[in-house]
Structure 1
C-alpha cells in the first residue's frame, strides 16, 4: 500500500474501514505500521474512532472508566488497543446546568453524545429556574448544538458514522409521543442535521412499547429492540420486535428462532429490566449482532444473508463461574449481571453488574474484571441505568 498509493488515496481507503481492520493492517509490516501511524497523527479527525472507555449513568452520577491498553483486547491478540487512551468526556464546556442530577446522558454513538439537559435560567425567571432541552455534543472538540424542541417527540438515540460520505452529518431518533389512530399507533421521528428539522418516519408498531432501550446505529439505520404488551381476555402477553428505522420508514426484522416469547406473561418486561440480562445490539466487521439471555446463559447471533446465525453461547452458571474463580474474582458476580454490551471494535462483550464491569472475549472465552469500584454506597445494590462505550471523535466538520 505504501509503495502503490499516495497518502491521500491511502487515507481514503482507511476512513472506510472499521477500527478492527486498521489495527490488523498495522501488523502486516513495519512499513504499513509506520504509514498508518503517520496518517493517524496527521488526519485523526478523519479516521474512525477507537473505544477508550465506557460511561455509566446512575441516578445522579455520571462515571467514566478508561480501558487504555487493557487486556480485553486479549494479550495474544494483535489488535492490542494501539492509540487508546483513558481520557474521558468532559462536559464543562456545556451551558450551565441547573444541577448535576439535571443532566442525563441519553445516547452515545462514535463520539457524539445526546444529553437531556436542564439549563439554568438567568434571573429573574418567571416560573422555573431551569429549562429542559436536548443537546447533541462532541466532548472531544467541545462543540454542541441544542435540538429544536417538539412537544410530540422524545429523543432517545443519536446516530453518527464517520465513514459515511456525509460524515459531517448525524441523526437523532425520537419516539413520537402522539396518539395515532389506525394500525400503526406508535411511530418514530428523526432529526436530520442537514436540514436542522424533525421528519416523520412512516410505519411503526401496532401498540405502544414499554421497553425500547437496546438501540444501535450503523450505515444510516437505527436498529431498535422493542418489547410491548398485548392485552387480551386471557392474559397480558409480551411481544418482541426488532425494527430498522430510517428516514424512509420502518421495517421489521425477524428475530432468531426462540427469541420471540409467544405465550410469555407480561412479567417478561419486569424480568428483563429489573432482574434479567437486558438484550444488546452491535456489529463486528459490518455484521449486525444480537445478544440476549438469562442469568444462566447469554446467546449471541449474527445477521447474515440467510438470516440469524448462532455464534456464541456463554455458560454463565457453569463455565463462567469456574473461570471467574480461576482469576480470583467473585463467581457470584455473574448472578447479578444486568447489562450486556458489545465492544465496538473487537470481539468482546461487557457484562455489567451492580458496582462491577466484566469483559468476556468471545474468541478465547476469557474473563476480566474491568472495574469494581462503586460510585457511591448504593451503587453496589443498583446497576447503572445506562452503559455506553465511548470513542472520541476529533472531526471539526460536524453540524454542531
Structure 2
C-alpha cells in the first residue's frame, strides 16, 4: 500500500481525463480528487494552445512538442445550445463562450470546463441585458482563488460613445456596476481587449489605448506604441498576455525581422524583449513568399502569429504558415515544425480563419460557483 502523500504526488501529475476515471477506484481516491485543496494544486503539464474555427472541430497543440497526441477535448458539443457556441476567451482552463447569432433567439453566455465537460449559463444582470454590442471578459486565476469574475463592457444607452463596466462575481453570484461611465476613442474595438493584471487593455487601429483596472475600478492609459511609423505601414500582428507579462508585436513593411515588446509592470513604457528573424523559416517554407500579399510598396509574408507562450524553460512563438504550424524559440532563435493535424481540421484552419487560445487543464468546476 503506497503512502497517502505519494499517491497524492502521483495523482497531481496526471491529466484531468485520467483523474475523472480514477474517481471510481475507491472512496478514498474519490475524496482526494474531489478535495478543494487537491483541485487548487493540480497543474497538469499538458498546457498548450487550442485552435478553433468551429467548436465542433478543436485541436490542441503543444508548443513544446510533448504529448502531441493527447487531446484534452475536441469539441464543445456538450453545451446544449441549438444555435451552437463560439469561444470568446480562455483563462487557466476555463472557457468563456457565447451562443452564435440566431434570428429570434437571445444570445447566451457560458462558463465551461471542457476537460470535465461541465458548464453553466451566465445569468443576465437584472437591470440591463448583455447585448451583441457588449464585450465580455473572464477573470480567473486558480492560484489566487477558485472563484472567478466576469467583466462586461457595454455601451450606455443614454449617451453615444459612452461605456459602462459591469462585474459578475461567482462568489456573490451577482452583477454590479464597476466605476463610472467613460468615453472611448471612436475606433476602439472592445472585443479585442487583453486581460493582464486584472485589467482590460485595448489598442485602437489609430494607436489610441486605454485600460480599465477591475480591482481598483478606474480607467487608465497605456504608454504610446514603440514605433513612429505611419499608420498606413503599421501592422499590429500580436497583442496578448503570457507568463504574467503583456506583449505586443508590430511588423513594418516587407521584413522578416521584428521585435517583441513587453509592458513594464509600472506601465512606464514598452520595452523591447526579443529580436526575431524568421528568414530561416521563409527559406524552409518558400510557400510563405509564393502566397504573400503585396500592398503598395511592401510585402506581407503568408503567416499568422497565433500565440506567445512564456515560462521558465523558454519563450515560444506559435506561427501558422500555409499547411504548417511552427514553434519558434524566442530565446534560442530556432524553430521546429509541430506535428501535423488531421486533414479535416487542416481544411478548416486556413490563414486568418481560426482563433488560438492558450489552454491548460483544470479540475475547477464551472458550475460549482454559479
The TM-score normalised by the length of structure 2 is 0.70
- Asked whether the equivalents of residues 53 and 64 of structure 1 are also in contact (C-alpha less than 8 Å), the reply is no
- Residue pairs, 1:1-400, within 5 angstroms: 39-40=12-13, 43=38, 45-48=40-43, 50-58=45-53, 62-67=57-62, 70=65, 85-88=70-73, 90-95=75-80, 97-99=81-83, 102-117=84-99, 128=104, 130-149=105-124, 150-153=128-131, 154-164=134-144, 167-179=145-157, 181=159, 185-202=162-179, 204-219=182-197, 221-227=198-204, 238-255=206-223, 257-259=225-227, 264=231, 276=235, 278-284=237-243, 286-294=244-252, 296=255, 297-304=257-264, 305=266, 307-315=269-277, 320-326=278-284, 330-332=287-289, 335-343=301-309, 345=311, 346-353=314-321, 355-370=323-338, 375=344, 379=348, 382-396=351-365, 398-400=368-370
Find the aligned partners of 1:91 and 1:60 in 2 and give their Cα distance: 6
Find the aligned partners of 1:152 and 1:131 in 2 and give their Cα distance: 10
Find the aligned partners of 2:364 and 2:110 in 1 and give their Cα distance: 18
Q: CA deviation at 1:380?
A: 6.5
Q: CA deviation at 1:84?
A: 9.8
Root-mean-square deviation (Å):
4.0
SS of aligned partner of 1:341: strand
Find the aligned partners of 1:212 and 1:260 in 2 and give their Cα distance: 24
Find the aligned partners of 1:51 and 1:242 in 2 and give their Cα distance: 34
Find the aligned partners of 2:307 and 2:114 in 1 and give their Cα distance: 22
Unaligned runs of 5+ in 2: 15-32, 292-299
Q: How many residue pairs are counted as aligned between the two chains?
A: 322
What's the CA shift string for 1:160-187, capped at 9, x where partnerless? 11111xx2211222221224549x7234
Find the aligned partners of 2:168 and 2:82 in 1 and give their Cα distance: 26
The structure-2 alpha-carbon separation of the partners of 1:188 and 1:51, relative to structure 1 and needing over 3 Å to count, comes to farther
- Asked whether the equivalents of residues 116 and 132 of structure 1 are also in contact (C-alpha less than 8 Å), the reply is yes
Q: CA deviation at 1:378?
A: 6.6
Q: CA deviation at 1:55?
A: 2.5
Find the aligned partners of 2:217 and 2:227 in 1 and give their Cα distance: 24
Find the aligned partners of 1:37 and 1:151 in 2 and give their Cα distance: 46
What's the CA shift string for 1:278-333, capped at 9, x where partnerless? 3222133x343333334634321223356432111223xxxx1324535x674437
The structure-2 alpha-carbon separation of the partners of 1:224 and 1:330, relative to structure 1 and needing over 3 Å to count, comes to same
- Asked whether the equivalents of residues 54 and 387 of structure 1 are also in contact (C-alpha less than 8 Å), the reply is yes
Find the aligned partners of 2:77 and 2:324 in 1 and give their Cα distance: 27
Q: CA deviation at 1:214?
A: 4.3
Q: CA deviation at 1:87?
A: 2.5
Unaligned runs of 5+ in 1: 1-6, 9-32, 71-80, 121-126, 229-237
- Asked whether the equivalents of residues 174 and 190 of structure 1 are also in contact (C-alpha less than 8 Å), the reply is yes
